[in-house]
Chain A
Amino acid sequence: MGDIQVAERALQHHFADMEQQRETSSFGMWMFLLTEIMFFSGLFCAYLVYRASYYHAFVEGSQKMNITLGATNTAVLICSSLTMALGVRAAQMGKPKLMAILLLITILFGFGFLGIKAVEYHEHWVNHEFPGPNFHFETGDPAHPATDAQHTEIYFSLYWAMTGLHALHMVIGIGLVAWLVIAGLMGAYTPHYYNPVENVGLYWHFVDLVWIYLFPMLYLISKKHGG
């Protein structure tokens, strides 16, 4: 079966041609990502409000972050975005095996990110830095001895909620990319029809984009007590 036959089979009857179908599918994905931005924005907004109100508590909370692991994870995600972008390119050029290899590397980077995140989560967990009845925080700042542990707990609530929601998106992303690898090797995509690859790529880059903001907001608030 040649490329053209696969392409004709992939064209839905309500579209004029493959290009119109691709643009429509991509626009739909962007609309979904727009709702995703608003979904994360609720948390970003809560972060902004509490950071403005309890700045010192946020500084102290952020000093419990492991910047080396956080920066490494940022680099891991950027590398995964590169292999994802090259994977989409391989699909556009009609190279399913190259696409599968690049997407498998993307999946490995994805697991690498989650693994490093799990190490960080474990550290916070054993240090009682998880909001709830076992939360415990000693202020280490002589300039602000009255920094309320409850306010630091707000920082950690936002930290777990934001990174947790992001990690959930990573897990979903890994599942989607795995599906692309299998479908790709079965010959589902051609240079005329690769909409699912393009759209999962958009999703993956979006998740990277969220982390690009989470990293400085949660890890790099201030190195100096009291800012």
Chain B
Amino acid sequence: MAGHAEHNEETGSVGHIAPARLYVAIWAVLMVLTLTTVLVSMVDIGPMNIVVALVIATIKGTLVVLFFMHLRYSPKLTMATVIAAVFWLFLLLSLTMTDYLTRAWSTYPGH
């Protein structure tokens, strides 16, 4: 229901009211993922360690934003705001790293 905030019939509240058990379920998943990320970090899987850690963090973050922060029930404008934030973050990090990670590529002697 990402279209428009609804009017809750029961309480007359403006905005969507999510069931309490949904919040508890999200909390449980977040706790399990926290334990998982700690346990995986104990195992050495080389460069995959950081990949797994960031993937788990991103899943956790997405759950927080979608449910705890009600993005799933928010207007499309809010969704666009979040996507813009992620896009700008991507620009900042990727364009910076294209500089730093390619400095060693210089093939000219003395550079």
Contacts of B78 in A (CB 8 A): 26-27, 30
Please give the number of chain B residues whose Cβ is less than 8 angstroms from any Cβ of chain A in the complex.
57
Q: 1/0 per position for B75-104, CB-CB distance to A under 8 A?
A: 101100110110011001100110011000
Contact between A41 and B82, CB atoms less than 8 A apart: no
B31: contacting residue among A23, A49, A78, A94, CB under 8 A: A78
- B1 on interface, CB distance cutoff 8 Å: no
Q: CB-CB < 8 A to B12: which residues of A?
A: 3, 191-192
Whether B57 and A19, one on each chain, are in contact in the complex, defined by CB atoms closer than 8 angstroms, is no
Q: When chains A and B are docked, how far (Å) is the Cα of A98 from the Cα of B49?
A: 42
Q: Is the CB of B37 within 8 A of A30?
A: no
Q: Is A71 a contact of B34 with CB atoms below 8 Å?
A: yes
Shortest beta-carbon distance, A67 to chain B, in Å? 6
**Quick check: A227 and B47 within 8 Å, CB to CB?**
yes
A104: which B residues are within 8 A, CB to CB? none
Contact A75 B50 (CB under 8 A): no
Considering residues B14, B26, B75, which has the most beta carbons from chain A within 10 angstroms of its beta carbon? B14
Please measure, in the bound complex, the distance between the C-alpha atom of A208 and the C-alpha atom of B30, giving whole angstroms: 11
| Contact call A26/B74, Cβ cutoff below 8 A | yes
Contacts of A101 in B (CB 8 A): none
Least CB distance, A126 to chain B, in whole angstroms: 25
A16 at the interface (CB under 8 A from B): no
Q: Are A191 and B13 in contact (CB under 8 A)?
A: yes
Are B23 and A48 in touch, CB under 8 angstroms? no
- 9-residue interface stretch from A148-156, A167-175, A217-225: A217-225
> B residues within 8 A CB of A38?
85, 88-89, 92
Contact A44 B81 (CB under 8 A): no
Cα of A201 to Cα of B15 in the assembled complex, Å: 14
Q: Would A79 and B41 count as touching, CB distance under 8 A?
A: no
Residues on A with beta carbons closer than 8 Å to the beta carbon of B26: 82
Given known pairs A49-B96, A205-B64, A222-B49, the reply for A22 and B15 (CB within 8 Å) is: yes
Task: Give every chain B residue within 8 A of A212 (Cβ-Cβ).
Answer: 57, 60-61, 64
Contact at A89–B20, with CB atoms within 8 Å?
yes
Residues of chain A having any CB pair with chain B under 8 Å: 3, 18-19, 22-23, 26-27, 30-31, 33-34, 37-38, 41, 44-45, 48-49, 52-53, 67, 71, 74-75, 78-79, 81-82, 84-86, 89, 92-94, 191-192, 194, 198, 201-202, 205-206, 208-209, 212-213, 215-217, 220-224, 227
B82 touches A81 (CB 8 A): no
**Contact status A78-B30, CB under 8 Å:** yes
B11 lies within 8 A of A93 (CB): yes
Min Cβ gap A46→B in Å is 9
13 contacts between A and B (CB under 8 A): A27-B78, A30-B78, A37-B88, A45-B96, A71-B35, A78-B30, A81-B30, A89-B20, A92-B15, A209-B65, A222-B44, A222-B49, A223-B41
Check if A191 sits within 8 Å of B97, measured CB to CB: no
Which of A23, A34, A74, A205 is in CB contact (< 8 Å) with B68? A205
Residues of the A chain whose Cβ atoms lie less than 8 Å from the Cβ of B61 = 209, 212-213
Q: What is the distance, in angstroms, from A45's C-beta to the closest C-beta of chain B?
A: 5
Provided the pairs A191-B13, A205-B64 are in contact, do residues A89 and B42 lie with their beta carbons within 8 angstroms? no
Contacts A26-B78, A78-B27, A209-B64 hold; do A19 and B14 have CB atoms under 8 A apart?
yes
